[in-house]
Amino acid sequence: MASSTCKELVMDKALQDSLFTYLLRLADSQLVLSHRLSEWCGHAPELELDIAMANIGLDILGQARTLLTLAGELEGKGRDEDKLAFFRGEREYYNLLLCEQPNGDFAQTLVRQWLMDHYQQLLLTELTQSSYAPLAAFAVKSLKEVNYHLRFSSNWIQRLGLGTEESARRTQAAVDELWRFTGELFVTDEVEASLVDAGLLPALDGLAEAWQGRIEAECRDAGLSLPEQAAYRQGGRQGLHTEHLGYLLAEMQTVQRSYPNMSW
């Protein structure tokens, strides 16, 4: 099914390029986020959390691999998931800025994950209606995992916000620090607009409002508040990143770049 769909899209190169870019945007955000979670392996506050976060990271990595494979097949230039993951530079990555932010303490990692989990659940729910069959199938499968991820992160936001004075202070500080990077979550540019116009993506109007409502409600329940300043940092989807991504990619790509085409 994926192959026949790709062949149809070759007839419109501009549309094919837009879909390729969109798949990379989804894949890169998941790949970078999974790497951040992997950095907690062996360092989480307790063993149960260590295992849970590692498993969530593996789920997200699996989602990234699927999307990178779809993107490579659509591109048709022989780049598989490994080549797309390990042999692109910083400006060729299109992940959300939020995903590349450092782990910080446990509260900052959980807040970042919580913000992304709500975003992913809303987005994937809509993408199950995509007329691009491989993407719709991916969304249906991944949504089951994201529902668990969201349950985990939401529960921990409550526990931290309503826990000790110190846990509440750290969680509020994390919200204040990361909020500025949420501005690009629902920004639609010409790439996504062209896919919506072509019927490959459903209209995503209303997701931003739904996401904001969810976040505000859970903040109130956890005794937290959102910053008054509007979120303003953007650019990740266009390859313009914070200083953190370069260091992350250097670590993630070092083995493949040192020993190209190696096999396990």
Per-residue pLDDT of the chain (264 residues; tens, 9 = 90+): 344 444 444 438 899 999 999 999 999 999 999 999 999 988 888 888 889 999 999 999 999 999 999 999 999 999 999 999 999 999 999 999 999 999 999 999 999 999 999 999 999 999 999 999 999 999 999 999 999 999 999 999 999 999 999 999 999 999 999 999 999 999 889 999 999 999 899 888 889 999 999 999 999 999 999 998 878 888 999 999 999 999 999 999 999 989 887 766
Residue 216's domain spans which residues?
Answer: 13-256
Domain CATH for 29: 1.20.1260.10
Q: How many helices (H) and strands (E) does the chain have?
A: 11, 0
Residue 1 lies in a domain: no
**In total, how many domains does the chain have?**
1
In a domain, 261, yes or no: no
- The two structure tokens encoding residue 154: 């939401």
Six-digit token string for 106: 């446990």
Q: Is residue 7 part of a domain?
A: no
Is residue 105 one of the residues assigned to a domain? yes
Rg (CA), the chain: 18
Residues 30 and 32: their CA atoms lie apart, in Å, by 6
Residue 152 makes CB contacts below 8 A (sequence gap 6+) with 52, 56
Tell me how far apart the alpha carbons of residues 144 and 130 are, in angstroms, rounded to a whole number.
17
Is the residue at 178 inside a domain?
A: yes
- CA-to-CA distance for 190 and 187, rounded, in angstroms? 10
